[in-house]
Chains A and B, each alone.
Chain A
């Protein structure tokens, strides 16, 4: 029970962090079809921006300013780069963002150095909120939960209550129709891309000090974000949300459940020993592959259901 409750909390927090990153990518990916490889790089930039800003102005201004900076950068990227590439198709777009990711990484290394920077949790949030079964629950985690919940609410309201949101929502499911209805598609694209990168930036501000702010952080977060977005399904923010939480929980609980295929076979009476063919594979326990489960799930869901969990159209 104790482990269960704590794991549930852990899984939620991690899932929400994933959601912060993935929500922006869902917007971009669903609407523009852009496999944005630079998304995690913007997340990294967000963290670095926040670090620098917090040196001068403190954490709270950074929380606002860094995402705005990232959003502006995103808008510029879309207007002066992606828009030109868009007509060449999706593979060039992908490579464009790939090139961008390389450049951002190098620029970050050149600007902030190759070593991690001491971007710390602000003092106001650096305390333990409550203790559950002897494990402290840091206030900053609660803050992360709060921010991501707010973010989810804000995106949701923005999409359902504002005019531009409705247009975006329409284009998430039917990208071709929006132009036909006489809307300025390039501008909608710019807004979406800027919003998506701003969200990534925000995730960077929040995640950068929770984790470690270093030039490799984009590299390590990149693939998992794609997994969440595709697993959740294109065009579905809810799907993305649920996928994030599932990914968070699955990885968390996989750590706790110490079983392997060999244990399963033992239930049906087959005992796996070292001599059994494939013993090396059969004795792999769940915690060992916990972090790989998202990829297994991704492959499975795409094979069975190419539109993802709640997608409105095929991936």
Chain B
């Protein structure tokens, strides 16, 4: 195979790799000559969440199984890794290179998948979801109660610097760990991608589409679910291991409901239908949680609004939106959407600014002012107790919304015309 062909076929992977390697340098502190620890940690979090969300999507997107307890696999993987690291460190074990430590997490997740999966995969659909909810609560509660393995509230602390690296790297700096993380998350993601191309992966799709029919082509859906759960456990465990490497502490929070919810959100916002959706989703969710929360305490509200809007207008997730453009792009007429997009963007910005301003004014009035914060919106200091900012914000929000509605209609006409055209030319939708 010639390299050009490989590039054409696998450009997405290459693009992801390049972005992951290059992105930290956007935040590089040239004056001090060091990486931004925050940016590196945030990107590490994105990478490991992407692995976790992909693993989640092995159940949700690919096998149609909604899980509320996926974090138990993640958490157990993380604890396994922490214990392994401590064991390696305590006994100076040299035959286990630092680079292979995440495998311990994978094994942990796998074991947990074998046990928890055996119970959960007895059922499908809502019953499955509810069993995972119950298991999730039980594991989280157990993690607080049993000190020996889970270390209680303080969790298990560990040190990733174990000096058994094949490459002689200490992994003390965030950048070194980030590189290891890139390697492992790429490796895990590619493996998960390949899994979708195997008989098990396809049959998992089949049980998602039509669970009954699968039985009559010779497959036991329960076995399919079980295998899929175990394998998802392996990858969730690896994600957990990466978590341990980044933070060097594992607490019960790693297997609590919030973590499970995050995986669900990432997978859904990114889009469970395609393979790459959850990666995108993880980036967005982590960005919102750790990025936007720096600036406003109302980030949960924004997150809520984002869900509602996404669910109502883009149930296919971000990847779904991109996918909708495929037929138009194939016709080579994507350019024709440029102007409508720009026209829609203006009222979006206006309305969005209004909405954000209203929310921020309100939070500042009720919470922020008392905390002694000075409110400034869009780099302008604003007095939330006077009437004007409110009036402007409300007007912006309402006007933006109305304008957007009108513009949306126009946009839809244009869009539908293009899609019709694509259909007429026989380009699959």
Contacts and interface: CB of A to CB of B under 8 A. Distances in A.
Do A and B share a direct contact in the complex (Cβ within 8 angstroms)?
yes
Interface of A: 33, 35, 81, 84-85, 88-96, 98-103, 105-107, 109-111, 113-114, 223, 226-227, 230, 280-281, 284, 288-289, 292, 295-296, 298-299, 302-303, 306, 314-315
A105 B131 contact: no
B383 interface: no
B134 A227 contact: yes
B308 A81 contact: yes
Contact of A95 (B129, B133, B148, B268): B268
Contact of A91 (B122, B137, B268, B306): B268
Given A280-B146, A284-B145, A303-B122, A99 B306 contact: yes
Dominant SS among interface residues on chain B: helix
B17 interface: no
Interface stretch (B170-178, B197-205, B235-243, B362-370): B362-370
A113 B366 contact: yes
A299 B141 CA distance: 15
Interface in B185-238: none
19 contacts: A35-B126, A91-B268, A92-B315, A95-B264, A95-B268, A99-B307, A109-B366, A110-B363, A226-B133, A227-B133, A280-B146, A288-B145, A289-B141, A295-B134, A295-B137, A296-B134, A298-B133, A302-B134, A303-B123
Contacts of B137: 223, 292, 295
Given A95-B265, A95-B268, A284-B145, A298 B130 contact: yes
B134 A315 contact: no
A88 B311 contact: yes
A-B interface, 7 closest residue pairs, ranked by CB to CB distance from nearest: A99-B307, A102-B304, A88-B315, A103-B304, A106-B301, A315-B127, A306-B127
A280 B129 contact: no
B300 interface: yes
Given A95-B310, A298-B131, 11 more contacts: A94-B66, A95-B268, A96-B311, A98-B265, A103-B308, A109-B366, A110-B367, A288-B145, A295-B138, A296-B134, A314-B125
Interface of B: 60, 66, 119, 122-123, 125-127, 129-131, 133-135, 137-138, 141, 145-148, 257, 261, 264-265, 268, 272, 298, 300-301, 303-308, 310-312, 315, 362-363, 366-367
Contact of B366 (A99, A110, A289, A295): A110
Given A114-B367, A296-B138, A106 B127 contact: no
B123 A315 contact: yes
Contacts of B127: 230, 302, 306, 314-315
B301 to A, nearest CB: 4
